[in-house]
Structure 1
Amino acid sequence: MPNFISDVLKDLEIKEVNLSNLTFILPSKRAGVFLRNEIATNASKTIFAPSIISIEEFVEELSQLKKISNTELLFEFYSVYKSQTPIEQIESFETFSKWARMLLQDFNEVDRYLIEPKSIFKYLSDIKDINHWALEKNQTPLITNYLAFWKRLFTYYSSLVDVLIKKGKAYQGLIYREAVESLESYIQLNENDHHVFLGFNALNNSESLIIQELLQSGLASVYWDIDELFLNNTKHDAGYFIRQHKNMWTYLKSKPFQWSHKHYSEQKNMSVIGIPKNVGQAKYVGEILSTLKSQKGHLNNTAVVLGDETLLLPVLNSLPDTVEALNITMGFPLKSIPLASLFDQLFLLHKDGKSSFYYKDVIAILSHSFIRSLFIDNHKDFGQIIIDFINENNLVNIDYKKLLKLAPQLETILTLLFKPWSNNPSEALHNCLRVILEIKAFLVKNKKENLLALEYLYRFNEVFNTLTTLNSKYKHIISISALYSVYNELLSFETLDFKGEPLKGLQIMGMLESRVLDFETVIITSVNEGILPSGKSNNSFIPYDVKLENKLPTYKEKDAVYTYHFYRLIQRSKNVFILYNTEPDVINGGEKSRFITQLEVEGIHNIQHKIITPITPKIFQELMSISKTDDVISTLKSLSKKGLSPSSLTNYIRNPLDFYYQKILGIKEVDDVEETVAANTLGTVVHNTLEDLYKPFENAILNVDLIKNMTQKVENTVQHHFKNIYKDGDITKGKNLIIYEIAKRYVTNFLNEELKDLEQGNRIKIIEVEADLSVNLNIDTLDFPVTLKGKVDRIDEYNGTLRIIDYKTGKVEQSQVEVVDWDIICTDYKKYSKSFQVLMYAYMLHLQTPFKQNVEAGIISFKNLSSGFLKFGKKEKPGSRNKNTNIDVEVLNNFENELKKLILEIYNPNIDFIEKEIE
């Protein structure tokens, strides 16, 4: 296929130009690699390679200034800012950095477009004066300082320029301005050199002036790459800039224009494909490449151009195995590398200067993939030991000293990670660099498997070394918070560069990297409004109308830049795949780009439209079923010896699968830190408190004085049990303090109800508190006994009636301890679980010692204390007020029948554990 670079070389060959004497100047270094390869491929004899440089390298050579990094420029600017600002108005470096980058960008634009700085900054200051009534006598200090800031803009600019020039350094815009100043002397010293500019489109005033001067002096040629369709259509933004150059440059008015062509109108296979979400686009790129691979050699002239460069990783993960050679032009942002999250967590841990740390932050660092291995010593995982200690002791906050006691062998790494940084940026940087060295020392033990991770470490080592050097030189960073802010800024610009075969196989690049290059097959992703083009954005102190007045670029020009790149990319291609996101998004996506609409309106190409939707299989919810193998039956028999409790049986009724997981597989709930006191913890505290208060009075008759004496012990007893169960959890504030007070209130209210009963003349005798029950149940069809076990909260005698009482800290209603139909007591968990539990306690007590008196069983609900003792009752029919509350032989026999059915079902090898849908 034809390409722009080969066309230029053919033209130079026809003109019999000696390539060795030329200096080729291109928009990017990337294009230079392809130009050099094209020269080598087409050369018929051995020649010296010409000089091939990017426009930025050429301008830097002209200016004789070295480009300063963005981060160092920020530090230099802060020094200037401090020297030119009244001391009482100087902001911290952290605050300054938030607006200074935008102002530096404006300085850059003013210089690149050769705007007179004094006049434009005076203009801005005058605008602010008008907007804020500068002549008003009674201005607030805030307005006065604000207007003074705008008046100092030119002072900041000129002082910064002076400082940089003296040091032989400059930012890009200043390099351009100085290059223009040095152009005349350059022309005089290089009269015999010839420069070839190719592939340019949007030029700033500096570039435009430099190229024009070299053209007028006969030291240059320029090759444009524009289709006639775009050049002649005054409304088409793809030709916006080149039309301006053609119409306004004196040189081009008298010389032939090189070149316009008609490649865009040639037949193309063009597809516009809407795909939901970014990951969907990445996956579909892989599908397209899979089909292309079947066509021999296609990937050698194929480019994937990412409109949204954050798609790089998903696209790489979606590439088919058949992609043999690959070259990635763009860099991978360091902030997206796994190692970045480690330092993020470290900064977040230390930036507030606290001596103790939130447990989740500590666990996040200990669990980090780059750190976990450093905590293994002599095959012992101290990281997990620390995490387990935090969970078991309910530590919401933990300090460095406590961590050190848990793993004194690992003092070095614990000190680097968790010893407070004391708001000292130098110490923070030192520790981060030491952490990198510790990780490196571990990874080099198995270097071959950790090459990529070591590359990550190297790049982050560079970042922290840069920050260390700048901070030691300028001393502007005086807090961890400021350091974190600058670190984040630096990380947003830094990338991890990939190495690949630049001229073979599949090319993956951003839109700007495609300049000058041509490909037979092009896949462009994220062609949505807000991405291609990027739309209106004004990160500038200079208002839109002032930019128009001074011919500075606005969003209109930025859109035109991307329009040119988009159309230039597809003008020579044969196969074009344009992908866009169909899903609405808060920031972007959902609306296809105007570029797609423009392609449709032009009507030049036959465009195939597709909407791709992922195949969504119809999933029928299937309840799991676990068959009872010999091993399961064996475990069940072992369980029968240990004992089946009411809670385990009600768990089976609720969902047999949960019973299987907990009792057969032995799976327990994850032990985690309980930040807020859980309901079961509250229940345990209340139960244990009542046990402590009543245990000494077993087999004793209660009286008023005993209860009053118990009331005085409530606070200390509740506090003791919270300490014992909630460990080091804090109950002195927030929700936990409220729950602590609720626990005291529950116990106190219960004792008050007990006191009322006694004062009314009722006789209460405590038989047993927290009574452990264990009985054997013989079932004829089973060849082994089944043990039933449980713990009854309280057994007492109330006016001669034996009561079996279960405490509940949750709310229980009377209807929940009543039975109408025995057949469903072992199947309806929601309705009958409370009845089943109290009846099972009564049944076990009866098996131990048959009842010889009236017996009642029921629940005392601490959230429903006013209802008193909620007795179990058997009703003949729903809604009936008549019920039998006495646990007699008939009740126990009926319950026994249903209990045996339930146990036989559990032990029946032909009945699987079948999952229930839980409401």
Structure 2
Amino acid sequence: MTTFILDVLTDLKKQDVNFSELTFILPSKRAGIFLKHELHKVVDQTLFAPDIISIEEFTEDLSQLKSISNTELLFEFYTSYLQHTKANERDSFETYSKWAQILLQDFNEIDRYLIPQKQIFHYLSAIEDLKHWSLEEPKTAFVKRYLSFWNNLFSYYSVFSNHLKQKKIGYQGLIYREAVNHIEDYIKANPKKQHVFLGFNALNTAEEFIIQALLRDNLAKVYWDIDHFFFNNEKHDASFFTRQHKKNWRHYDKNPFNCVPQNYIKQKNISVFAIPKNVGQAKQIGSLLDKIQSINKTLQNTAVVLGDENLLIPVLNSIPEDINSINITMGYPLKSIPLASLFEGLLNLHKNNSNSFYYKDIINIISHQFIRPLLQIDGQDFASILIDAIEHNNLIFIKHSRLKELSQSANHIIDLLFLDWNISIEKTIKNCSTLILSIKSHLNEDKAANLLSLEYLFRFNALFNELSRLNATYHHINDLNTLHSLYKDLLSSETLDFQGEPLQGLQIMGMLESRVLDFETVIISSVNEGILPSGKSNNSFIPFDVKLENNLPTYKEKDAVYTYHFYRLIQRAKNVFILYNTEADILTGGEKSRLITQLELEGIHYIHQETVTPQVPTLVNSLNVIPKTPELQQSIIQLAGLGFSPSSLTNYMRNPIDFYYQKILKINTHITVEETVAANTLGTVVHNTLEDFYKPLQGKVLSIDLLKTMKSKISDRVAYHFQQEYKEGDINKGKNLIIFEIAKRYVSNFLDYEIKAISDGNTIKIMSIEADNQVKINIPEFDFPVILKGKVDRVDEYNGITRIIDYKTGSVMTNQVEIVNWEDLTTDYKKYSKSFQVLAYAYMMHESNTINLPAEAGIISFKNLSSGFIKFSKKESTKTRAKNSLITAETLEAFKFELTKLILEICNPEIDFIEKEI
């Protein structure tokens, strides 16, 4: 295929120009590489290469000003702002930076389009005064300060621009304005130097002035990359700017308009794919590349153009493995590198200026992939030691001194991470740099395996060196919030460049990088409204009507820029694949771009349209099955000998797999930090408090005086047991204080319940508290012993009737301890697990001759204390209200039958552990 660059060079060759004496000026540096590559195709003799520069380089040379970064520009402007703002009206640097970036963009636009500065700034000031407060008297201090800001805009601009010019630096707009001021001097100094401008489209006023000045003196040629089809269609936005240039430039009154080929109407294969989700687009790009390579055997003249550059990483992960030659013009965002999350976490941690640190923040930092290796000292993993200590002691907010106490010989790393970050900004930046050097020292131990990580470190070291330089030069960073904000600004603009050969293989680029370049096969992603084109946005202090009046670009011009780039990409291509996201669950998704609709309505090309749906495999939900191998059977027999508890048996009833994990594999629930007291912790505290009160009274009859004495000790004993169970967690505020008070209320209400029962003439005698029980179950089918064991919360005699009591801090209803069919005991876990537990306790105590029958067994629910002692009952049917609450020998015999059935199932080698659907 013939490219635009080759067309230009061929035309220059026909004019018999001396290429060595030409200066090519292009929209970007990247296009210069391709121009050099094409040059040998038209040159048949040895020559010195021409000068090939970008428009930015050319204007810098004209203006004698050097461009500086946006961040440094922000610092320079703040210096001017401080000098011309009253002390009581100055914003902090952090506040200033939020509006200054917008104002600097406006300065840039005003200068690029050569707008008279004083006129527009006074106009803006008058608008604000008129729009809001011109008639309001007296004006408040806030209003005066607001209007003062607008009145000072021209002063800010004047002082700032003069300051930059004195330092020989500038932003793009100022450089362009100065270039215009120096163009006549440049022409006089270079009366014979020939310039070739190619590939330009949307020129600002400064660029137009410079190019026209060179054209006027026959020192330039301009080649426009526009197709005949667009150029002759006055309503087509792809030629919006080029039509204006031809109409308004005097040069074209007498000279031809160069380079208007007819490529767009040539036959093309255009396909439009509607795809859900961004990751779906990435996968489709991978599939398309695989097909293209299988057909063409190469991807040499193929480009993937990302409308949304955030798609870069998913696309890279979707490229087929057999594609080896790739060139990526976009850099990998530094903010996506794992090291970014480390410094983000550290700066967030310390900017709160607290004496203690939240445990999750600490765990995130010490678990980070770049930090954890530093905490592995002498074969010990101090990160794990710290995490275990935090979880075991329930530490929620932890001071640096406690961290040092727990970290032992890793203190130097803990100091680096958590000590003295708030002393000064210099100290904070130094800590970051020292941490980078510590990580580097570790990675250098295996340098070959850590080359990429070392590159990460190098870039972050450069970033913090830049922050250090800015702080040392300008002294505007006064707190960690400001430093953090600047860190994020620098991070968002930095990239890690990929290595590749720009002229070989598959090209992956953004829309702007595609300027001047042509490819035979083009894949364009994210062609959605809000992306291509980007839609209406007004990140400016200049109102829309003022922009129109001063010929500043609005969203209309920006849309025309996107339209030009889109059509320019496909005008010479033979194969075009356009992808857009059909999902409406993101701000820029769901609606295909108007550019696709325009392609369809033009009717020039047949467009293949396809909706791509992801292949979703059918997943069969299979329940987990653990076969009972001989080894597993031995473990079960061993467990039976040690003893089944009622809770373990109900656990099996709920889900056999959980029983297998917990009792056979001994996988316990992971201990986690309780920020809010958990329900089981509350239950344990209440149980242990009541044990303290009632254990000394075993064998004694309760009296009102004894119970009242207990009430006076509630607060101390509950606090003691919270300390034992909740460790170093704070119960003095928030939800935990409420739960602490609930625990005291539960105990107090229970004692009041006991006092009332005695006051009503009832006799209560404590038989045992937290009594351990263990009995052997005779099961003829087994040749190994089976033990049932458990601890009963309380056994007492109530008016001569033995009661077996299980405490519950949760809510328990009467129907949960009533049963009609005995077989339901082991099949309906949700409803009858509590009945099973209390019957198991009754069975064990009867078998060990601890109680006499008949007896009662049931639950006291602290959350439902008004129900009193909720007794286990046997009902003959669901329709009758009659029930029997006494535990008799027949009751226990029926229970034993169901218990034996359950244990037979657990120990049966033919019945596997099968997961239940819950």
TM-score by length of 1: 0.99
Contact 1:350–1:420 (8 Å) recurs in 2: no
Aligned partner of 1:352 in structure 2 is 352
Counterpart of 2:265 in structure 1 is: 265
2:853/2:889 contact within 8 Å kept: no
Within 5 Å, which residues of 2 pair with 1:611-650? 611-650=611-650
What whole-Å deviation, never above 9, does each CA across 1:810-831 have from its counterpart, x for those lacking one? 0111111111101221111112
Q: 1:542-621 counterparts in 2 under 5 A?
A: 542-621=542-621
> Which segment drifts farther, 324-333 or 404-413?
404-413
Q: d(CA) in 1 for partners of 2:885 and 2:298?
A: 86
Kindly provide the CA deviation profile for residues 210-254 of structure 1, in whole angstroms up to 9, marking residues without a partner as x. 111111111111111111111111111100000000111111221
Q: Distance in 1 between matches of 2:612 and 2:548?
A: 42
Q: Secondary structure at the match of 2:456?
A: helix
| Aligned AA (1:381) | D
Tell me how far apart the structure 1 counterparts of residues 857 and 767 of structure 2 sit (CA, whole Å): 14
The residue that corresponds to 2:62 in the other structure is: 62
> Paired residue for 2:846?
846
Deviation readout 1:448-481 (Å, 9 max, x if unpaired): 2211111111111111111111111111111101
Counterpart residue number, 1:172: 172
CA separation of 1:90 and 1:851: change in aligned 2, threshold 3 A: closer
Matched AA of 1:668: N
CA drift of 1:209 comes to: 0.7
1:135: Cα distance to partner?
A: 4.9
Question: Residues of 1 paired with 2:227 and 2:524: CA distance?
Answer: 20
Give matches, 1:416-431, under 5 Å. 416-422=416-422, 424-431=424-431
For these two proteins, the number of residue pairs brought into alignment is 918
Q: Distance in 2 between matches of 1:707 and 1:409?
A: 52
Which residues of 2 match residues 60-139 of structure 1 at below 5 A? 60-139=60-139
CA contact (8 A) 1:121 1:154 kept: yes
> Which residue number in structure 2 is paired with residue 504 of structure 1?
504
The answer on whether the counterparts of 1:339 and 1:370 sit within 8 Å (CA) in structure 2 is yes
Distance in structure 2 (CA, Å) of the matches to 1:406 and 1:424 = 27
SS in 2 for 1:830: helix
Tell me, in whole angstroms, the C-alpha distance in 2 between the residues paired with 1:136 and 1:859.
74
Name the amino acid aligned to 2:681: T
Residues 347-746 of structure 1 correspond to what in structure 2 (within 5 A)? 347-422=347-422, 424-746=424-746
* TM-superposed deviation, 1:432: 1.0
- Secondary structure of 1:407's counterpart equals helix
Contact 1:129 1:147 in 2 (8 A): yes
Asked if 1 retains the 8 angstrom alpha-carbon contact of 2:13 and 2:42, the reply is: no
Unaligned runs of 5+ in 2: none
The 8 Å contact of residues 641 and 784 in structure 2, kept in 1 or not, is answered as no
Q: Deviations over 1:2-36 (max 9, x none)?
A: 10111111111111111111111100000001111
Deviates more, 1:59-68 or 1:756-765: 756-765
2:902 aligned with 1:909: no
Against the structure 1 CA distance between its residues 136 and 808, is the aligned structure 2 distance closer, same or farther, given a 3 Å change threshold?
closer
Amino acid at match of 1:863: K
Alpha-carbon distance in 1 for matches of 2:109, 2:644:
80
State the alpha-carbon separation in 2 of the partners of residues 420 and 842 from structure 1.
62
Aligned to 2:30: 30
Residue 317 of structure 2 aligns to a residue whose secondary structure is helix
SS in 2 for 1:532: coil
Separation of aligned partners in 2, 1:852 and 1:795: 12
Corresponding position: 1:53 with 2:53:
yes
Match of 1:762 in 2: 762
Shift of 1:850: 6.8
Offset, 1:424: 2.3
Deviation larger for 907-916 or 896-905: 907-916
- Residue type at the aligned position of 1:323: I
Distance 1:124 1:297 in 2: 60
CA apart distance, 1:412: 2.5
Query: Mean Cα displacement is larger for which, 609-618 or 729-738?
Result: 609-618
User: How far apart are residue 336 of structure 1 and its match?
Assistant: 1.8
| SS of equivalent to 1:701 | coil
Q: Aligned AA for 2:590?
A: G
1:830 paired with 2:830, answer yes
Distance 2:705 2:130 in 1: 84
Distance 2:143 2:162 in 1: 29
Distance 2:526 2:643 in 1: 63
Q: Is the 8 A contact 2:10 2:42 kept in 1?
A: no
The 3-state SS of whatever aligns with 2:178 is helix
Which is worse superposed, 655-664 or 34-43?
34-43
Structure 1 Cα separation of the partners of residues 81 and 460 of structure 2: 29
Between 1:131-140 and 1:339-348, the stretch displaced more is 131-140
Aligned counterpart, 1:194:
194
Distance 1:733 1:540 in 2: 47
Moved more, 291-300 or 260-269: 291-300
State the AA in 1 paired with 2:233.
N
**In structure 2, what residue type is equivalent to 1:737?**
L
The alpha-carbon deviation at position 429 of structure 1 amounts to 0.9
Does structure 1 retain, via aligned residues, the 8 Å contact 2:859–2:870?
yes
The CA RMSD over aligned residues, in Å, is 1.1
Distance 1:334 1:850 in 2: 72
Aligned with 1:864: secondary structure?
helix
Matched, 1:895 2:858: no
The whole-number CA distance in structure 2 between the counterparts of 1:850 and 1:176 is: 99
CA contact (8 A) 1:94 1:481 kept: yes
Displacement of 1:417 = 1.0
Mapped contact 1:307–1:525 kept (Cα < 8 A): yes
| Per-residue deviation, 1:833 | 0.7
Q: Judging changes above 3 Å, is the alpha-carbon distance between structure 1 residues 30 and 659 closer, same or farther for their aligned structure 2 residues? A: same
Q: After the TM superposition, which of the residue ranges 111-120 and 610-619 deviates more from structure 2?
A: 610-619
Deviations 1:668-691 (A, max 9, x none): 212110000011000000000000
SS of the residue 2:17 aligns to: coil
Q: Distance in 1 between matches of 2:311 and 2:548?
A: 34
> In the alignment, what sits opposite 2:232?
232
Deviation, structure 1 residue 99? 0.4
Give me the whole-angstrom Cα distance separating, in 1, the residues matched to 2:851 and 2:807: 22
Give the deviation of 1:420 after TM superposition: 4.1
Q: Distance in 2 between matches of 1:169 and 1:53?
A: 20
1:310 and 2:310 aligned: yes
Q: Is the 8 A contact 2:846 2:852 kept in 1?
A: no
Q: Distance in 2 between matches of 1:400 and 1:172?
A: 47
2:802/2:852 contact within 8 Å kept: no
Deviation per residue, 1:881-911 (Å, 9 max, x gap): 2222111111011000110000000111111
Q: Deviations over 1:667-726 (max 9, x none)?
A: 221211000001100000000000011111111121111111111111100000000000
Counterparts of 1:42 and 1:445 in 2: how far apart (Å)?
A: 53
CA distance in 2, matches of 1:22, 1:854: 113
**Pairwise CA distance, 1:617:** 2.8
1:794-853 Cα shifts (integer Å, max 9, x gaps): 011111111111000001111111111012211111121111000000111111117534
Segments of 5+ residues of structure 1 without an aligned counterpart are none
